[in-house]
């Protein structure tokens, strides 16, 4: 069996930023592999492109330039948010707006995003809404550890199902056993 559409793929890998000699920022081993439904759009498209056609036991190593990963760093995604936006019961929560904190927020259209607090001054909080890996080239090295055919439910829902129940699953409203 090969890595292709509607296959559940497991892999172990090491992720480095800025080339094969760059800093290791993530390591996933065989005992707790990354497992995903290939072709469901849950991973970077170029990441999946580099795995297509591989078999269990095949090794891989490839680089994704920032444009094919999380994009270039976008200065316009670093914005000043009025300090009053962080008030709770009329008082600013300074524990929340500490430099380095990641704060879940929503934009004006209701999209969820996470902002990193970069600076706090008297009137505003400077937040960075870029992906943490934006502007970095990513180097992946690893091995395919398992491949299986996705179940009908997994293909219909576009994600993996666990051995548990489907309660709380947004895809099917809890109608199916085994939804993650």
> Which pLDDT does position 180 carry in this prediction?
45
3-state SS of the chain is: CECCCCEEEEEEEEEEECCCCCCEEEEECCCCCEEEECCCCCCCHHHHHHHCCCECCCEEEEEECHHHCCCCCCHHHEEEEEHHHHEECCEECCCCCCCCCEEEEECCCCCEEEEEEEEECCCEEEEECCCCCCCCCEEEEEEEEEEEECCHHHHHHCCCECCCCCCCCCCCCCCCCCEC
> Which pLDDT does position 177 carry in this prediction?
45
* Structural tokens at position 176: 């199916």
Output the CATH code of domain 75-128: 2.40.10.330
> Which pLDDT does position 163 carry in this prediction?
55
Q: What is the pLDDT along the chain (180 residues), one digit of tens a residue?
A: 999 999 999 999 999 999 999 999 999 999 999 999 999 988 999 999 999 999 999 999 999 999 999 999 999 999 999 999 999 898 998 999 999 999 999 888 988 999 999 999 999 999 999 999 999 999 999 999 999 999 989 988 888 887 544 444 554 554 444 444
> Which pLDDT does position 88 carry in this prediction?
87
* Domain locations along the chain: 7-69+134-149, 75-128, 152-180
Is there a shared CATH topology between the 7-69+134-149 domain and the 75-128 domain?
no
What's the CA gap between 149 and 3, in Å, rounded? 10
> Which pLDDT does position 159 carry in this prediction?
86
HSE at residue 150, side-chain half, CA atoms within 13 A, is 25
Q: How is domain 7-69+134-149 classified at the architecture level of CATH?
A: Roll (3.10)
CA 16 to chain centre: 15
> Which pLDDT does position 100 carry in this prediction?
96
């Amino acid at each position: 069996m090969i890595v292709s559409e509607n296959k559940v793929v497991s892999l172990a890998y090491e992720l480095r930023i800025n080339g094969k000699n760059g800093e290791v920022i993530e390591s996933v081993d065989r005992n707790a592999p990354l497992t995903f439904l290939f072709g469901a759009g849950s991973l970077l498209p170029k990441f999946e492109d580099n795995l297509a056609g591989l078999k269990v036991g095949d090794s891989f190593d490839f680089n994704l330039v920032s444009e094919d990963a999380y994009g270039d760093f976008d200065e316009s995604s670093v914005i000043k948010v009025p300090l009053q936006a962080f008030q709770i019961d009329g008082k600013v929560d300074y524990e929340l707006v500490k430099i380095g904190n990641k704060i879940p927020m929503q934009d004006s259209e209701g999209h969820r995003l996470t902002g990193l607090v970069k600076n706090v001054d008297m009137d505003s909080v400077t937040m960075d809404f870029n992906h943490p890996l934006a502007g970095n080239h990513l180097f992946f090295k690893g091995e395919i550890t398992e491949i299986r055919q996705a179940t009908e439910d997994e293909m219909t829902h576009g994600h993996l199902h666990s051995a548990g129940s489907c309660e709380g699953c947004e895809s099917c409203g809890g109608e199916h056993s085994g939804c993650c």
